[in-house]
A = this chain, B = another copy of it.
Amino acid sequence: MSTKVKNQPNGVDVEQLVQTVNAIQDNPDLAKFRFRANTKWMKGGYSRTTVQGFYGAGQEDKSRTEAFVLEGDEPPILLGENRGPNAVESVLQALASCLSVGFSYNAAAQGINVKNLEFDLEGEIDLHGFLGLSDKVRPGYEGIRLTYRVDCDAPPEKVEELWQHVQKTSPVLDILRNPVPVSFVNGN
């Protein structure tokens, strides 16, 4: 009887990661993904979003038997009822979630064990833009400051190198730092 011990630093299946990379190198189209969401406005600042299926690796993904339901709302000072985080708070979550994945996966690929990884994020916004009170103030974040704390079994210069790679390859960081074309289609 043979027992196979899986190589899973940081809970990442490195063997599957290598297979994925190899498969994409053989067939570049497997890297094309389309993610989706459906959002219904409920009332005031409150909306509900469902996320379930997506297309990727050459097929429609069926792994999620139920949809994720994400609630968004504003706090009372912004005329909402705190049923969920607001949209710009969700942006901070998306960024840190993305960098968590990137750091954990890339560390695993290099055999680095991560013991702890944590982020504090802060985004500054001036509501003159959102409220239509000034054309000179952008509606979105003027800047995001991210503080990370990491504990892993690699020397500081190796960790720094890893961060550089993670920053270069993070989907959400790219989405924030560089323009994304967004098209509006009237579905009525």
Identify the closest chain B residue to A182 (Cβ): B144
Bound state CA distance, A50 and B126, in angstroms?
23
Report A110 CB to chain B, min CB distance, Å.
12
Which of A149, A173, A175, A188 neighbours the largest number of chain B CB atoms within 10 Å of its CB? A175
Identify which of residues 154-176 in chain A touch chain B, using a CB-to-CB cut-off of 8 Å: 163, 165, 167-176
In the complex the two chains form, is B183's CB within 8 Å of A129's CB?
no
Bound state CA distance, A28 and B131, in angstroms?
12
The one of B34, B105, B121, B149 that contacts A36, using a Cβ cutoff of 8 Å? B121
A contact set with B: CB distance below 8 Å = 10-13, 16-17, 20-21, 24-25, 28, 31-41, 43-47, 49, 51, 54, 56-57, 61, 63-64, 68, 70, 72, 74-80, 82, 84-98, 100-106, 114, 116-133, 137-151, 163, 165, 167-188
In the complex the two chains form, is B118's CB within 8 Å of A38's CB?
yes
The one of B21, B34, B93, B187 that contacts A148, using a Cβ cutoff of 8 Å? B187
Q: List 21 A-B contacts (CB under 8 A).
A: A31-B126, A31-B127, A34-B124, A35-B88, A35-B125, A39-B118, A39-B119, A40-B117, A51-B89, A64-B75, A64-B82, A70-B90, A70-B97, A90-B97, A125-B171, A130-B171, A140-B172, A141-B180, A143-B182, A148-B186, A175-B176
